[in-house]
């Protein structure tokens, strides 16, 4: 079956790309081994993080490094046996986290972030997914004065980019979220982000709209991608599809497909966990709440209150080790009246990340007709729709909505 474009990966990024290409009049097949939004796009805090101009950077102070190394930081965990293979990547990540380079990151990322809410709104309106979305920003809590002082340092840069961030008192925070307990000493309110009650549900709604609009949604194995003359082919449960162009939007599995074609990129993963909880009595939340020094987020979801953990450095396919969930659950119960766990075991996923914390969006080096949209790190759900629009612009030869140069694979 001949079509215009193959898109591999039905997470939020691949689904958004497929929708944008379909809107341009292309025939598109969206291929995944599972249903849409059932992998990494399912397990996150559900933020459309317009305000994330500061990256999740590598610790720079000796104290912060020791806290991670000695297991004193509940937001981080690592497997010893994974560190030798990760060492070069971690060193580049540390270099990219220097203060001057973080300012460069903010400048570059804001070109994408400024479009994130409006692009989600556009796809949500077309996909009957608006009921998943809510305004109200998100609340960051600090247990110590030092933690709040570090947060204040971000405010001037936020204002430079037109963002609304303000320090609020404990009483103000409790007025916003009355079921929190005052185990924190200060708070900051970031008003620009939106959030959703089911990131997997949003992705599924976008994919359903894609299928209703004439797109082909297929189960298949991305590892069957093959060069076919000047184009590409992939096998699905309903037969093979051939196209002049293919897009790899496979998140943590991208390099499994790209390596056989000689594409070498420094993509690694940051694993993370979540669990849903019932609440005690009539307790509830109105927005995501980050316990910065506790290393977790709690957020209201359709499945209950979702607790999401920080970062685990491990081999992608290593068995689960949800020690962060165990540690942060204790802290979360101090803050909020969590009830019983609502699931038999924790969910685990892998965030695909490059050491400079920027995604790759654009052509694959040395492979005509092959395009990449990978490595969105902690911002995959946020950046999915704008990534789809940007890549569709590039593939159609239009003037890109965002300068794509900083996201080129050739930077490595």
What mean pLDDT value characterizes the chain? 96
Q: Work out the average pLDDT over 130-143.
A: 97
Distance CA(102)–CA(286), nearest Å, equals: 31
Reference 59, options 233, 256, 311; nearest CA is 311
Q: Work out the average pLDDT over 22-28.
A: 98
Interaxial angle between packed helices 12-23 and 199-212, expressed in degrees from 0 to 180 and rounded to the nearest 10: 30
Tens of pLDDT, residue by residue over 54-84, are: 999 998 888 888 888 888 899 999 999 999 9
pLDDT level of residue 240 (50, 70, 90 thresholds): very high
pLDDT at 280: 96
Q: Is the pLDDT of residue 253 over 90?
A: yes
Percentage of residues in the chain with pLDDT exceeding 90? 96
Tens of pLDDT, residue by residue over 144-178, are: 999 999 999 999 999 999 999 999 999 999 999 99
Sign of the Cα pseudo-torsion (47, 135, 333, 141, in order) = positive
pLDDT at 262: 97
Q: Is the pLDDT of residue 271 over 90?
A: yes
pLDDT at 359: 98
* pTM confidence score: 0.97
pLDDT at 67: 87
pLDDT at 53: 93
Q: Tell me how many degrees the CA angle 11-13-17 measures, rounded to the nearest 5.
A: 115
Tens of pLDDT, residue by residue over 299-328, are: 999 999 999 999 999 999 999 999 999 999
Domains of the chain: 1-57+97-133+196-267+354-412 (3.50.50.60)
297 strand-pairing partners:
290, 308
Q: Work out the average pLDDT over 32-42.
A: 95
Q: Work out the average pLDDT over 104-124.
A: 97
Tens of pLDDT, residue by residue over 175-230, are: 999 999 999 999 999 999 999 999 999 999 999 999 999 999 999 999 999 999 99
DSSP string, 197-248: S-HHHHHHHHHHHHHHTT-EEEEB-GGG-EEETTEEEEEETTEEEEESEEEE
How, if at all, do strands 165-168 and 5-8 pair?
unpaired
């Amino acid at each position: 079956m001949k079509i215009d474009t193959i898109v591999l990966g039905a997470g939020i990024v691949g689904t958004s790309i497929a929708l944008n290409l379909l809107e341009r009049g292309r025939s598109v097949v969206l291929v995944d081994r599972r249903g849409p939004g059932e992998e990494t796009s399912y397990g996150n805090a559900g933020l459309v993080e317009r305000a994330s101009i500061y990256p999740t950077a590598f610790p720079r102070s000796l104290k912060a490094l020791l806290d991670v190394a000695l297991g004193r930081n509940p937001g981080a965990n690592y497997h010893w046996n994974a560190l030798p293979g990760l060492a070069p990547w971690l060193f580049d990540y540390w270099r990219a986290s220097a203060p001057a380079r973080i300012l460069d990151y903010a400048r570059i990322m804001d070109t994408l972030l400024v479009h994130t809410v409006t692009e989600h709104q556009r796809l949500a309106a077309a996909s009957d997914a608006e009921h998943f979305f809510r305004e109200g920003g998100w609340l960051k809590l600090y247990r110590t004065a030092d933690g709040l002082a570090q947060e204040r340092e971000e405010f001037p840069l936020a204002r430079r980019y037109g963002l609304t961030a303000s320090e609020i008192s404990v009483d103000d925070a409790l007025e916003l979220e009355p079921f929190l307990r005052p185990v924190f000493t200060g708070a900051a309110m970031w008003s620009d982000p939106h959030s959703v009650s089911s990131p997997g549900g949003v992705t599924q709604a976008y994919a359903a709209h894609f299928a209703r609009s004439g797109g082909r949604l297929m189960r298949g194995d991305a590892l069957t991608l093959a060069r076919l003359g000047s184009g590409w082919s992939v096998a699905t449960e309903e037969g093979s599809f051939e196209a002049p162009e293919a897009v790899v939007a496979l998140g943590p599995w991208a390099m499994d497909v790209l390596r056989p074609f000689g594409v070498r990129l420094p993509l690694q993963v940051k694993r993370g966990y979540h669990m849903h909880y019932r609440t005690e009595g009539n307790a509830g939340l109105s927005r995501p709440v980050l316990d910065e020094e506790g290393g977790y987020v709690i957020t209201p979801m359709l499945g209950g209150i979702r607790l999401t953990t920080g970062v685990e450095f491990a081999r992608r396919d290593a068995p689960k080790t949800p020690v962060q969930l165990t540690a942060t659950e204790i802290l979360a119960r101090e803050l909020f009246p969590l009830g019983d766990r609502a699931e038999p075991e924790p969910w685990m996923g892998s965030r695909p990340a490059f050491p400079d914390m920027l995604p790759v969006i654009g052509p694959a080096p040395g492979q005509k007709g092959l395009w990449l949209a990978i490595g969105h790190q902690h911002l995959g759900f946020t950046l999915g729709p704008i990534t789809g629009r940007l890549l569709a612009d590039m593939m159609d030869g239009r003037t890109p909505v965002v300068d794509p140069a900083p996201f080129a694979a050739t930077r490595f």
